[in-house]
Chains A and B, each alone.
Chain A
Amino acid sequence: DARVTQTPRHKVTEMGQEVTMRCQPILGHNTVFWYRQTMMQGLELLAYFRNRAPLDDSGMPKDRFSAEMPDATLATLKIQPSEPRDSAVYFCASGLPGPNTGELFFGEGSRLTVL
């Protein structure tokens, strides 16, 4: 049963700490997305990759967020330093070739709370 796996599922940290979220996309999917979900803003696209290359990260605060794909089986999203306004659920999703031609498969999310 292929699925997108995200870790950690929950993270509580203090302001100023580094946070790293990890995602294992579905094998064979070459497009990976990071979305952030909050009550106020809904689902916001932070960054996405195709064939491990970053295509768009304009949705991310560049001074504190970074996204990478060290290999085809791992995508990471780092926040350093974290701030209370970063509290949200972060979703990773993967899809088949072509970012806008087919469905996305989402992980269960990483719920981040920054105190």
Chain B
Amino acid sequence: SQQGEEDPQALSIQEGENATMNCSYKTSINNLQWYRQNSGRGLVHLILIRSNEREKHSGRLRVTLDTSKKSSSLLITASRAADTASYFCATAQSGNTPLVFGKGTRLSVIA
């Protein structure tokens, strides 16, 4: 069963615009991670944010975490056509459990 649910399911933007994807989850977590998947490829880790962190940056990526609302957001600034992919959030619950993935947001960046 999915722990994280991404919103929106699909997003289409123009190159240069910012893209924001949201993730909501149900139970307490140890950390939350975002992954990217290009069509026909495996998932690639983007960023990890721990439950005691509120914001994290990596290049053009900015991730926020609000544990009181059980939600996270991924912001991609100045998007490029090469950012076109599906983006997944994954949560690791406190304790000895593996990552549980949401169904993803399909991002299309139009040149």
Chain A residues with CB under 8 Å of chain B are 4, 33, 35, 42-43, 45, 48, 55-56, 91, 93, 99-109
The number of A-B residue pairs with CB atoms under 8 Å apart is 59
Residue of B nearest to A99 (CB): B98
A56 x B45 contact (CB < 8 A):
no
Residue of A nearest to B6 (CB): A42
Q: Which residues of A contact B92 (CB under 8 A)?
A: 99-101
Of B2, B42, B45, the contact of A108 (CB 8 Å cutoff): B42
Residue of B nearest to A92 (CB): B42
A103 x B2 contact (CB < 8 A):
no
- Inter-chain pairs besides A104-B45, A106-B44, A107-B42, 4 sampled, C-beta below 8 Å: A4-B42, A99-B96, A99-B99, A103-B45
1/0 contact string of B24-53 vs chain A (CB within 8 Å)? 000000110101000001111100100000
- Shortest distance from the beta carbon of A89 to any chain B beta carbon, whole Å: 9
Q: Which residues of A contact B45 (CB under 8 A)?
A: 103-105
- Shortest distance from the beta carbon of A104 to any chain B beta carbon, whole Å: 6
The verdict on B75 contacting chain A, using a C-beta distance below 8 Å, is no
Q: Dominant SS at the A interface? A: strand
The verdict on B93 contacting chain A, using a C-beta distance below 8 Å, is yes
Q: Which residues of A contact B31 (CB under 8 A)?
A: 100-101
Residue of B nearest to A47 (CB): B98
The verdict on B88 contacting chain A, using a C-beta distance below 8 Å, is yes
B98 x A91 contact (CB < 8 A):
no
- Shortest distance from the beta carbon of B103 to any chain A beta carbon, whole Å: 4
If A33-B98, A42-B103, A91-B43 touch, whether A100 touches B88 (CB-CB below 8 Å) is no
A91 x B96 contact (CB < 8 A):
no
Residue of A nearest to B29 (CB): A100
Q: Which residues of A contact B2 (CB under 8 A)?
A: 42
A56 x B43 contact (CB < 8 A):
no
Scoring B88, B95, B96, B98 by chain A CB atoms within 10 A of each residue's CB, the highest score goes to B98
- Shortest distance from the beta carbon of A44 to any chain B beta carbon, whole Å: 8
1/0 contact string of B87-101 vs chain A (CB within 8 Å)? 010101101111111
